[in-house]
Amino acid sequence: MERRDVLLGMALVAGGWSRPGWAHHGWSGFDQDRPLYVAGRVVDARWRNPHAELVLEVPEGLTLPADLAQRPVPPQTAPVDVAGVLARAVVPARRDARWEIELAPLFRLNQWGLTAAPELGAHVEVVGYGLKGERAEALLRAEFLFLSGKAYGLRSAPA
């Protein structure tokens, strides 16, 4: 085998191994001091690891629901100040028509009873965290998901 073939093979393997890492964002890249509220219609859903993802089409003039701070969220194993996060949530200053929502890993979603992606067209509400700094992506890491009249705390398993 020629050296050129070996190098090409190594490059292909390295590219294959590194690509999924580029798409995954850990909690440290998100501004957890500023919870955001986004709601809209599901236009795309990717139900896979390292975490499920939704794309929401957000209507113009999005406002906070009056009852957001009082919404009950089932307890979870991680200590999360549910009332505090919901009370501090604001509508994002950026007015993108579409937002990508990073949910929890599939194992955790299954623990909450979410075994399949919401249907396209379903109305979803999310409170979560946007990326830190001036980034081009309209991306939100979900802390709480509201779907079909149910609330889910996605940081950890249900308590």
125: CATH: 2.40.50.140
158 inside domain: no
**Which residues, at least 6 apart from 83, have a Cβ–Cβ distance to it below 8 Å?**
69
For range 122-140, the mean pLDDT: 87
Summarize pLDDT for 17-34 with one digit per residue, the tens. 333 333 445 656 777 889
Whether residue 51 is contained in a domain is answered as: yes
In percent, the amount of the chain with pLDDT more than 70 equals: 80
Q: How confident is the model at residue 14 (pLDDT cuts 50, 70, 90)?
A: very low
Q: Domain of residue 96: give its range.
A: 24-153
Distance, CA of 63 to CA of 54 (rounded, Å): 20
- For residues 140 and 36, give the distance between their C-alpha atoms in angstroms, rounded to a whole number: 8
Q: How many domains does the chain have?
A: 1
Scan for tokens 């794309």, then name that residue: 55
**Mean pLDDT taken over the chain:** 84
Whether 13 is in a domain gets the answer no
Q: How confident is the model at residue 136 (pLDDT cuts 50, 70, 90)?
A: low
